Amino acid sequence: MTEDIYRDPTTEELAEQAEWEATAYERAVAEVDRNRQAAYQLESDPLYFKWQAGEGTEDAWKAKRDEIRERYPMPEAE
């Protein structure tokens, strides 16, 4: 037989939770930035360099850039 054990959170735990909740938006933006940066490097940058070398089009590069932005939208400000 097990008993549920519950204790009230400490002042430090409550402060950590409040800080975590207060920084949720900033963390979400940072995650979007990381995801976009990785996608740009893998998908968009090669198209940009092809365009610059005359081997691709500006439209292809811009379309990929816009697709990445749609895939990783910025969170709504709280």
45 located within any domain: yes
Q: Could you tell me if 38 and 72 are in contact, meaning their C-beta atoms sit under 8 angstroms apart?
A: no
In a domain, 67, yes or no: yes
Measured CA to CA, the distance from residue 21 to residue 47 in angstroms comes to 39
Q: For residue 43, name the pLDDT band (cuts at 50, 70, 90).
A: very high
Confidence category of residue 18, pLDDT binned at 50, 70, 90: confident
Q: Does any domain span residue 17? A: no
Indicate whether 68 belongs to any domain. Answer: yes
pTM for the structure as a whole = 0.75
- Containing structural domain, residue 39: 25-78
DSSP 19: H
Domain tally, the chain: 1
